[in-house]
Amino acid sequence: MNDVYGLPRRSGRSGPWSVFRPGPRSALPRELSWTPLGPFDNRELAELVARAEAVDDPPYRTTAEETAEYFIDPTYSGVAGRDEDGVMRAFGLVRLRPAEQIYASMTGVVDPDFRKRGIGGALLHWQAERARHLIGAERAGAAPGSSSASAQAHVVTTVLEDDERMMTHLAELGFEPRRWYREVRRPLTEPIPRISLDGFLSIEPWSEERDDAVRRAHNQAFGQGVGAGAVSAEEWGAGRSYFAPQWSFVALDRSGDRARVAGYLLSGRYEQDWDALGWREGYTDMLGVLAEYRSREVAPALLTAAMRAYRRDGMDYAAAGVDSDNPTGAVDLYRALGYTPTRGTILYALDV
């Protein structure tokens, strides 16, 4: 059992801190001492995550900078479990992001030396109850008759696809699988195809001046997805510790008086992962194409432009994370360009 769960690792959000006390902890295992979790615990938290990843060997390594992003959602509630020597052995965290719909995400880790003792399952129960409480508080604090007072709400978490015990725990709590996330990878030693775009479409390097137009295009392309909502300028700029502008591109339609964003590809450079992987890779963090351009080869053109940029900088592979609402969908685009699917995760959701 891999007691590691949560939202996909590259999903930082921003906002003012509003910490909720963790609430009753009596149901959590007494072999650990449970205390509230906050930003001041980040060093210990990162060390715990590193110990877990050394055993579970996911295709990445999470840094302290990334775990610090756990605490920048507008509202969160967390708990840490320590052993008799004061070493953090487990944590559970719930983060709330109100939008047109309310999303409460659950993240947690259990130290490999403390697994199979019921700690992971107990933490899941605690988190599910905390998520319900935070959602209830959000609705209660909204103005009567406002959309927030009656907004749909979802508790979400992701699980490694081979973690059957965690899936069983989630099913017992009423969670259902909603989306499938798949890592894909392509060797850059293979020939990279040339993609021809029609009309006034072109692929151009990302620039700071175009970034807000890209954000607006992202909202237009993905505003209705699970876990999605209108991304503010502040949120868009958060979580970019590993953003690689030199590997990022924008598809522009210059048929009118002003260039319009037709699609975009934003890349990340995750050097901390390379030792664990055994190679160097450029990672496609975001790929989006507006609906009216999806039949015009924009996505393949963006991906191949990124491949060439990765290869110029000495990368061995191009990699990406693909998500879909079914176990087999959304990888055809990548397969056609030579990508191979690898390990995946599943997003589970509970509507409340």
216 and 261 inside one domain: yes
Q: How confident is the model at residue 8 (pLDDT cuts 50, 70, 90)?
A: very low
Cβ neighbours around 28 below 10 Å, total: 21
Q: 352 in a domain, yes or no? A: no
Q: In this predicted model, what pLDDT tens digit does every residue of 267-277 receive, in sequence order? A: 999 998 898 88
Q: What does DSSP assign to residue 253?
A: E
Q: In this predicted model, what pLDDT tens digit does every residue of 211-251 receive, in sequence order? A: 999 999 999 887 644 444 578 888 888 778 899 999 999 99
151 and 69 inside one domain: yes
Mean pLDDT of the chain: 86
Q: Looking at residues 59-72, what average pLDDT do you find?
A: 88
Expressed in angstroms, the distance from the first to the final Cα of the chain is 27
Q: Which of 174, 196, 213 is the last residue of a domain?
A: 174
Q: Which of 124, 149, 174 is the last residue of a domain?
A: 174
162 and 202 inside one domain: no
Residue 322: which CATH number?
3.40.630.30
Contact yes or no for 102/135 (Cβ under 8 A):
yes
What lies within 8 Å, CB to CB, of 32 at 6+ separation is 81, 82, 83, 89, 90, 114, 119
* Selection from 125, 91, 129 nearest residue 110 by Cα: 91
141 and 196 inside one domain: no
Q: 243 in a domain, yes or no? A: yes
pTM: 0.74
Q: How confident is the model at residue 27 (pLDDT cuts 50, 70, 90)?
A: confident
132 and 52 inside one domain: yes
Question: What token pair was written down for 193?
Answer: 């195809």
Total structural domains within the chain: 2
198 and 132 inside one domain: no
Q: 317 in a domain, yes or no? A: yes
Does 143 or 189 have the greater pLDDT score? 189
How far apart, in whole angstroms, are the C-alpha atoms of residue 30 and residue 308? 54
Is the predicted pLDDT of residue 17 greater than 50, yes or no?
no
103 and 192 inside one domain: no
Q: In this predicted model, what pLDDT tens digit does every residue of 322-331 receive, in sequence order? A: 887 766 656 8
Q: How confident is the model at residue 107 (pLDDT cuts 50, 70, 90)?
A: very high
Domain of residue 33: give its range.
4-174
